[in-house]
Structure 1
């Protein structure tokens, strides 16, 4: 009877290792598939290659440790994006600095926003005027081309809230631009 229990125990250990190996492969596949997008998100917060890479490294570590908590594979992208954003915000808070936006980031911005760059008020200044949540919504919507529903999942908020944040952010940018025009 002792041999049966030992064999059962061994089978459970092998099964657990196989499950862990599959999870590890899925996690590595997730990171490999989205590493450019995750880097862009981190970079959009810190505007520095080395800091962005540090954020990605920290995010991958956090993700690897907690990957077993992801119950539905269709939410993996949202889950890892949220980890990157939170890590970037934590990094900024920890280092207590405002980060300037680099010109290379501006090259990827849609044409209506390019007009902002040509005015006195740059995209950098406009984003700096926004709240943390508004900035996150604008970055995800216009820099990462995410749909409002996807942004809602990442920020764990209703779509209506995301719409309101985006509307208020765009309104704030418009007001700031009008104010900048009056100073010309």
Structure 2
């Protein structure tokens, strides 16, 4: 027979899985790494579930676990070459331009320091307020603002994001919409 805490955890996972997976994908740039990150984060949250439930904001607590796990993963990852599943094929699909835009955006995010990337993902791709981001990261709003400003300035200097879309604008999912 399942305990109430286990049932609560199962319900939490069922409700949050898609959003956590999307955030993890934006943080890692790889679907498989994103799934691993979410699973590892939820495993840690499960071992601390009573503490998570007592927190003022359980979502912020679990997201913080995920962000810290990603930072730990990046510290361990010292590969200078990035394996890829893409092969240099010609464009055949209708959505090829969107895939290219998404790849450019993920590449640009990947070149940002982990903290700046985290702030941008939470602020603009997860559509969280500065206050929410500060709470998740356990920092002040001013720190979130400065990380946001530095990250956006760095993206502007990065020539790849300036050419996103060729007449389209990038949306939160990294896809383009015609003007």
Q: Same fold (TM over 0.5)?
A: yes
Q: Which runs of 5+ in 1 are unaligned?
A: 1-16, 109-113
Residue 146 of structure 1: aligned partner: 128
Residue 135 of structure 1: aligned partner: 117
CA distance in 1, matches of 2:128, 2:136: 10
Q: Give the CA deviation at 1:78.
A: 0.7
Q: Give the CA deviation at 1:65.
A: 0.2
Q: Give the CA deviation at 1:164.
A: 1.3
SS at match of 2:127: coil
The number of equivalent residue pairs is 152
Q: Which runs of 5+ in 2 are unaligned?
A: 87-94, 164-179
Rg larger in structure = 1
Tell me the alpha carbon deviations over residues 11-53 of structure 1, each in whole angstroms, 9 at most, x when there is no partner.
Answer: xxxxxx9xx9332222222211110111112212222222222
Root-mean-square deviation over aligned CA pairs:
3.6
1:124 lines up with 2:106 in the alignment:
yes
Give the structure-2-normalised TM-score.
Answer: 0.69
1:96 lines up with 2:78 in the alignment:
yes
Choose from 15, 36, 45 the match for 2:18.
Answer: 36
Choose from 27, 42, 45 the match for 1:45.
Answer: 27
Alignment of 1:1-184 (within 5 A): 21-70=3-52, 72=54, 74-97=56-79, 117=101, 122-177=104-159
Q: Give the CA deviation at 1:177.
A: 3.5
CA shift in 2, pair 1:63/1:138, >3 Å: same
Give the structure-1-normalised TM-score.
Answer: 0.67
